[in-house]
């Protein structure tokens, strides 16, 4: 599917200037018509043509409709250009930008992974980053009740690995998956490669932004979210064995499905590694093409065409 969105959509308000351009064109045309009538020598025209000539014949003055159409297109293209049009399509891509969002809430201390979930998540994420191409940009986000940017987007993969390995369980209570999606999306907004979030969590969102709102935000910015559910069906205990955390698959399946991504269930370290391998080998993503420069160059070409026409065929004599 092919769609176009605008990064600076508020500039589209400038489209109200197009009716003003049309009104101005015909106002100026009326002024030129009256001036032509005022200075025309009707007696001389009558002697030359041998016909009666009156004001009705002034309709033969050109309305310059072709020039008006060119000017409308120039204005349209300039407005679209500053509004930041981006064409998105699904296709084969070799260039990706990733944000890895890792759950660091207390439930990630559950012992259904040895020694616990967060440790397995750090190891698998670090190996994934190590396997990426040198030019790939990676950002790291951790989250619990709030989200934390551990590493802005960077192509220094060593820094990204270090940020992953430094993630620790957060003291803020709860798990805000919606906030994690929004924070991760914000890191990708200025990037032109295919945008991908890898959300690694047990899927139990308990506080913060509603997940549906976060999904809408990601979709608006053409971001794919692959979700990895880390945990077993039986769950694991944490905080001295007093609490049990189970994997919330329906939530993670919904996030992936609604954003064009995939859901992976990881009940052990091997499945976790396979999930990252499948994501890294994926070729079809949402790919953006910035149209601003193309619109600008087309507008400039039309301006030169108009300049040539008003100095030749549509030249106005004093």
pLDDT at 233 (0 to 100): 72
Give me the number of domains the chain comprises: 2
Look up the domain containing 304 and give its range: 2-84+292-310
Nearest to 204 by CA among 238, 241, 163: 238
Query: 304 and 223 share a domain?
Result: no
Query: 7 and 127 share a domain?
Result: no
Burial of 141 (0-12, 13-18, 19+ CB in 10 A): buried
Q: Is residue 21 part of a domain?
A: yes
Q: Is residue 315 part of a domain?
A: no
Query: 208 and 260 share a domain?
Result: yes
Q: Is residue 175 part of a domain?
A: yes
Query: 57 and 109 share a domain?
Result: no
User: Cβ contacts of residue 156 below 8 Å, gap of 6+?
Assistant: none
pLDDT at 55 (0 to 100): 47
Q: Is residue 68 part of a domain?
A: yes
Query: 159 and 259 share a domain?
Result: yes
Q: Is residue 279 part of a domain?
A: yes
Query: 52 and 137 share a domain?
Result: no
Query: 163 and 28 share a domain?
Result: no
Q: Is residue 318 part of a domain?
A: no
Query: 17 and 146 share a domain?
Result: no
Q: What is the CATH number of the domain that holds 282?
A: 3.40.50.410
Query: 17 and 76 share a domain?
Result: yes
Q: Is residue 227 part of a domain?
A: yes
Q: Is residue 202 part of a domain?
A: yes
pLDDT at 59 (0 to 100): 46
CB 178 within 8 A of CB 214: yes
Query: 128 and 25 share a domain?
Result: no
Query: 32 and 106 share a domain?
Result: no
Query: 276 and 157 share a domain?
Result: yes
| pLDDT by position in tens, the chain (length 318) | 677 778 788 899 999 998 988 888 778 777 666 665 555 555 555 555 455 545 444 444 456 788 888 989 999 999 999 988 878 777 666 678 999 999 999 888 888 888 888 999 999 999 999 988 878 899 999 999 999 999 999 999 999 999 999 999 988 788 899 999 999 999 999 887 889 999 999 877 888 899 999 998 998 888 999 999 998 777 777 766 566 777 888 999 999 988 888 999 998 889 999 999 998 887 566 666 788 899 999 999 999 988 888 777 666 545
């Amino acid at each position: 599917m092919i769609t176009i969105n605008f990064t600076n959509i508020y500039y589209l308000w400038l489209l109200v200037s197009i009716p003003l351009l049309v009104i101005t064109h015909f106002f100026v045309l009326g002024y030129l018509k009256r001036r032509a009538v005022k200075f025309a020598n009707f007696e001389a025209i009558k002697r030359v043509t041998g016909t009666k000539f009156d004001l009705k014949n002034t309709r033969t003055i050109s309305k310059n409709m072709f020039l008006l159409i060119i000017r409308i297109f120039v204005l349209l293209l300039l407005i679209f250009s500053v509004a930041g049009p981006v064409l998105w399509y699904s296709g084969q891509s070799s260039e990706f930008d990733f944000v890895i969002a890792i759950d660091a809430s207390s439930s990630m201390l559950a012992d259904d992974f040895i020694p616990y979930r967060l440790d397995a998540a750090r190891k698998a994420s670090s190996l994934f980053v190590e396997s990426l191409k040198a030019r790939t940009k990676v950002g790291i986000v951790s989250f619990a009740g709030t989200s934390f940017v551990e590493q802005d987007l960077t192509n220094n993969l060593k820094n990204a690995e270090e940020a992953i390995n430094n993630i620790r369980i957060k003291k803020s209570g709860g798990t805000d998956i919606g906030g994690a999606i929004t924070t991760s999306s914000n890191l990708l907004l200025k990037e032109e490669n295919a945008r991908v979030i890898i959300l690694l969590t047990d899927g139990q969102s308990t506080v913060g932004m509603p997940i549906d709102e976060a999904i809408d935000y990601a979709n608006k910015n053409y971001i794919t979210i692959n979700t990895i559910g880390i945990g077993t069906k039986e769950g694991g205990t944490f905080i001295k064995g007093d609490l049990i955390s189970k994997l919330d698959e329906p939530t993670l399946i919904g996030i992936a499905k609604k954003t064009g991504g995939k859901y992976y269930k990881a009940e052990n370290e091997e499945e976790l590694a396979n999930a990252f391998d499948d994501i890294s080998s994926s070729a079809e993503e949402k790919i953006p093409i910035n149209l601003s420069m193309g619109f600008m160059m087309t507008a400039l070409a039309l301006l030169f065409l108009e300049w040539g026409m008003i100095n030749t065929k549509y030249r106005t004599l004093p």
